[in-house]
Structure 1
């Protein structure tokens, strides 16, 4: 499912115009993005949680030249699936 399909499903499920469903979807995504950018975690019970993982610097290699390079520390969002979602996905085999 992509963002357009999510907007369409929301519009149909709650019976609102497409434009309003798009605004709701964009607000939710923007709010979650802003929270993660501030370093906050997000927990949606039954679905999962988004947390920021911190990775230290390390020495890597350029795949083309083989030359050693220093990779800077970074932070990346990480999704941890919730129990209910995991069970639902596993029961659909």
Structure 2
């Protein structure tokens, strides 16, 4: 299950605040960043930010899978996918964060 806590608008606002920018400038810079990453990936190039992470295009091989409902075998064509690999410094910072305890039901 994927959980997204920050929308693009919230990111633009946070980026503007941290960079002491006007919202319009922040929107323009974020859009330029995203377009640049997209352009590189569409050309088959990777994008790497040392210490943060990297995006790259990988080819997923063709394979045969089973539909869990019908049990029929289905051929899935090869396709290109974008992979993101987090950099070690960022991974270490995230790993240092305390894990929130889940609330438990009282019996």
Normalised TM-score (structure 2):
0.78
The CA distance in 1 between the partners of 2:87 and 2:64, in whole Å, is 34
Measured in 2, the distance between the counterparts of 1:52 and 1:35 equals 10
Which has the bigger relative contact order, CA under 8 A and spacing at least 6? 1
Q: 1:75 aligns with which of 74, 80, 85?
A: 80
Q: Structure 1 stretches (4+) deviating beyond 3 angstroms?
A: none
Q: Which runs of 5+ in 2 are unaligned?
A: 1-5, 99-107
User: Offset of 1:38 from its aligned partner?
Assistant: 1.3
* Residue equivalent to 2:44: 39
Aligned twin of 2:32: 27
Matched residue, 1:12? 17
Residues in 2 aligned to 1:68 and 1:53: alpha-carbon distance in whole angstroms = 24
What SS does structure 2 have at the residue aligned with 1:15? coil
In terms of fraction of residues, the more helix-rich structure is 1
Q: Which runs of 5+ in 1 are unaligned?
A: none
Larger radius of gyration: 2
Aligned equivalent of 1:65: 70
CA deviation string 1:26-47 (max 9, x = no partner): 1101110111111111100110
